[in-house]
Structure 1
Amino acid sequence: MGRPLGRILALTLTIVLTAGCTEVPVGDAKPGGTGEQSPSRQSADNELLIYTVWPAYYVKEEIFQKQIGDYIRKKFPDITVKHIAWDNPGRQYKDLIAAGTIPDIIMDDTRMNVQRYIIDNDLHYDMTELIKKYNFDTSKFNPAHMAQMRNLTPDGKLYGLPFYNNDYVLFYNKDIFDKFGVDYPRDGMTYDEIYELAKRLTRVEGEITYKGFSQHPGHYLNFNQLSLSPLSRTEDKADLSAPGWKLLVDNMRRFYEIPANQFDTVETFASKPSLAMAVASVSDHVVKFHEANKSLNYDFVSVPSFPDAPGIKYQPNVYSMYITKQSTKKDLAFQVIAALLSEEHQIELAKEGVIGPLETEAIKSAFGQNLPQLQGKNIQSVFYGNNAMPPPARQEGLVWYDAILQNIFQPLIFSESKDSVTALRMTEEKTTKEIEQKKADKALSD
């Protein structure tokens, strides 16, 4: 998750919830796993407890209320919304579980956390019957988003619904392009075309090194556009043997082999305005880059694609909503989720720069309207092309492990100058050993 796990600091946890800004005791920690909440911990029939892990900015209560809480109260005036945001220490899954306080709705990162936190803690619940009961049409959603949800398990059960996709675009510094007389990039360009631009824009002038292109190796490989998984579908091991992995690695490493274009984090796009192009996430950077450097003259286009898969961008980086098995208010929870996924609400979220699973023309037109930093920018590039489909589900019962794919480049390629095949093999072997260790640790804890 990018945030370290902490210790449970006390047996009694007190968490500030959003019902009138009151403090509600979570309860005394006790063993017992994730079974049904005891009667003493049951909330009123009109109360919903929502636990947000991702998007991370919901730790700021005012953002949660603006994007979620206020709308629920508007559509369901009789509901009391209580909110817990993931925090370290004291508000992690293990803390809530130990206290016997199980949320009705969880919002979390689908790829990273569903298996290791929701399924492994027996919090998962198949929403299929509720979808049928309320005649909720999932076919209107981005198909790659829905595939991400269904590919969590081989039986295709639907443990959640997509809420927000932190997608990627290619940012570019107009001043650098103007300085060197190079045409701006445009939507739909391939990596080959962007590579040619990067070569033209990478140069040293006096004390300034202009770098043509940067892209985060881990994000590029984790959400790769070839729909590859680093894990075996049938065994508890890594598998980076498919030819597409070498294609991916070779494609990126050529950019960093351009003389003077050594790797530099995409975060320097604003802080060191000598980086011409950088692939970065929309929600984390469209405002951040502006705030870091208000004089930065930039715009963005779609991420480059492979010639054999034109217009295919990253796999979804989806944060989704889940109803817990332990919730006694599943119908109410589903109706709230359905309302949050309505076009009406998705339009309001789009105005705040949130990319949801609905991509109607009204939503596209509304995107970024409330963000002055986006005025005059190429907004429609956010919706250009199609997300790559996530890889198929793995066999049931296999250990999920987040392979540290950025290690292929750092240290193996950037620091140790390994060839692509060797870097892939070493990463595969290291990941397999880590999976074996994880299995052994789990066997001991069981």
Structure 2
Amino acid sequence: MKFRKIFAVVLAGVMTASLAACGGGDSSSSGSTAASGDSGSGEKQKLVIWSWGADEEKKAREDAVDIFIKNHPEIEVEHSVIPTADHAWDQKAAAALAAGTGPDVIQTSPDYYGLYTDYYEDLQPYLEKEGVNPDEVFTDGMLDPYYRPDGKMEGMPLLENVFVLAYNKDMFDEFNVDYPTADWTWDDVLEASKKFVGGEGADATYGMVNHWVDPNFAIICKGGTPYSDDLKTVEINSPEVAAGLDLFGEMVQSGAMPDDTAAKSLPKEQLFVSGHAAMYPLGGFETKLIADEIGDNFEWDVVTMPKVEGSDINNVMYATGYAMLKTSQNKDAAWTFLKEVGYENEEMAQVTARVGIPGNKAVAEGYYKEITNGPIDNSKYLEGLSGARLNIWGGVFANAGDQWTQIWQAVTINGESGQDAIDSYYPVLEQAFNEANQTE
């Protein structure tokens, strides 16, 4: 299936402001790093790489590229790490792609759902030429999302992140609530959360934080699906999705989860690490940050995300990788980087493992699994992969996702029922979904 290229419409609004940023210096970039030494011909190959990230992710991207630079003195590498905040990445990438001035290698995600695929080189011939068995070198299931329906491999997997349910054992003990188990459902989370409600203002306590991933979990927590597996039919208007919305609506209305105002006054991380919220949906990308902030403040642990009755899907997955642009001026060097960052170089994969499950299978199932942050290791994240659904509203489905946000807010802020909110916004959501899904 080919998606109608709504990218041109998206681009129109950002191009004027962004084209200038695609030139040399950029305050949001990490700058360039060049390898030393020359190739046998006396001329270095030039490779330009764009990554995104902040904090720990930014450092991991830079450290991985530094390893590549050390191993390849014949390649001059210019690497920029561009923040995603305030749409900096989206604007710079969109403008560069449209102008044909992008890098050789650019970070990407399969949850773009084909948004930029026309700009990406098909990597399948490169992979076949290497003669490797993908099942042996890639973490299970991690390569699959990078294939388009026509068989094009549009990217190289770098990492994936899923969620676990972190909980404050001291709070559970204080409020005399049994610890979460792997057998819990979201109904169990709801009922337990209500038992932590207390206090007012800065002294208020909650069962669970208000996390930005919650709207995705509202779709799946009662067995709902956003759309069909072939991406052709929207399925939001279902009793299961309405029930999921009602569950989160009840959490907010009962005070078990902060409302919008309270969530803005105290960030979710601080709410949890300060002992004011008992549970936290913890993404693999933020584990070290949260563990470091908790320190010795309290005892805590994690379990896999709550089970969903009648469904194998109980988690949300965010994936990222790298793509080679068709306009690349040095595709040999670009492929060398892609295969090493994706599956061939274990030292690079170990760096990536600091912020997510790496695409390198050997490192994921060995080194990554044993990493500990505070009292936990990463084994629960690996367990969560098999039941994870790719981020729902990325790329071409962003406009439909905006309508889902309206539905979510109608329930959690305005106090509407899930079905009433769906009835109000579903026609516009369905229209946005169908427009994104039209073929040329």
> Under TM normalisation by the shorter chain, which class is it?
0.7 to 0.9
Aligned CA distance change for structure 1 residues 183 and 242 (closer, same or farther; 3 Å): closer
AA matched with 1:318:
A
Spell out the pairing of 1:239-250 with structure 2 (5 A cutoff): 239-250=235-246
Aligned CA distance change for structure 1 residues 325 and 92 (closer, same or farther; 3 Å): same
- Deviation of 1:428 (Å): 2.1
AA matched with 1:384:
E
Q: Which residue of 2 aligns with 1:305?
A: 307
SS of the aligned residue for 1:248 comes to: helix
Q: Which residue of 1 aligns with 2:293?
A: 291
- Deviation of 1:226 (Å): 5.3
Q: Which residue of 2 aligns with 1:109?
A: 109
How far apart are the structure 1 equivalents of 2:365 and 2:229?
38
How far apart are the structure 1 equivalents of 2:21 and 2:301?
50
**Structure 2 spans left out of the alignment, 5+ residues:** 1-12, 37-42
- Deviation of 1:132 (Å): 0.7
Q: Which residue of 2 aligns with 1:35?
A: none
Q: Which residue of 2 aligns with 1:323?
A: 324
SS of the aligned residue for 2:241 comes to: helix
Structure holding more helix per residue: 2
- Deviation of 1:238 (Å): 5.2
How far apart are the structure 2 equivalents of 1:77 and 1:339?
15
- Deviation of 1:50 (Å): 0.8
Residue 8, structure 1, aligned to residue 3, structure 2: no
Per-residue CA distance 1:131-188 (angstroms, 9 max, x = gap): 11112332243444333222xx432321012212132121211221121233332345
Aligned CA distance change for structure 1 residues 362 and 142 (closer, same or farther; 3 Å): closer
Aligned CA distance change for structure 1 residues 302 and 267 (closer, same or farther; 3 Å): same
Report the identity percentage: 19
Aligned CA distance change for structure 1 residues 281 and 123 (closer, same or farther; 3 Å): same
Q: Which residue of 2 aligns with 1:174?
A: 169
Q: Which residue of 1 aligns with 2:4?
A: none
- Deviation of 1:70 (Å): 1.9
Q: Which residue of 2 aligns with 1:146?
A: 143
Q: Which residue of 2 aligns with 1:381?
A: 380
| Residue of structure 2 aligned with 1:18, choices 32, 35, 44 | 32
AA matched with 1:307:
E
Kept in 2, the 8 Å contact 1:290–1:296? The answer is no
Kept in 2, the 8 Å contact 1:102–1:326? The answer is yes
- Deviation of 1:306 (Å): 0.8
Q: Which residue of 2 aligns with 1:130?
A: 126
How far apart are the structure 1 equivalents of 2:221 and 2:324?
29
How far apart are the structure 1 equivalents of 2:319 and 2:219?
13
Q: Which residue of 2 aligns with 1:407?
A: 406
Deviates most, 329-338 or 262-271? 262-271
Per-residue CA distance 1:286-317 (angstroms, 9 max, x = gap): 4146337763543322221213336x442421
AA matched with 1:14:
G
How far apart are the structure 2 equivalents of 1:420 and 1:8?
39
Deviates most, 342-351 or 223-232? 223-232
Aligned CA distance change for structure 1 residues 180 and 232 (closer, same or farther; 3 Å): closer
AA matched with 1:133:
K
Aligned CA distance change for structure 1 residues 274 and 115 (closer, same or farther; 3 Å): same
- Deviation of 1:57 (Å): 4.7
| Residue of structure 2 aligned with 1:256, choices 245, 248, 252 | 252
SS of the aligned residue for 2:414 comes to: coil
How far apart are the structure 1 equivalents of 2:34 and 2:70?
15
Q: Which residue of 2 aligns with 1:71?
A: 67
TM-score, scaled to structure 1: 0.73
Deviates most, 225-234 or 183-192? 225-234
AA matched with 1:213:
M
Aligned CA distance change for structure 1 residues 362 and 51 (closer, same or farther; 3 Å): closer
- Deviation of 1:364 (Å): 4.5
How far apart are the structure 2 equivalents of 1:146 and 1:90?
24
Kept in 2, the 8 Å contact 1:127–1:159? The answer is yes
Residue 332, structure 1, aligned to residue 321, structure 2: no
Residue 220, structure 1, aligned to residue 217, structure 2: yes
- Deviation of 1:276 (Å): 0.5
Q: Which residue of 1 aligns with 2:428?
A: 430
SS of the aligned residue for 1:83 comes to: strand
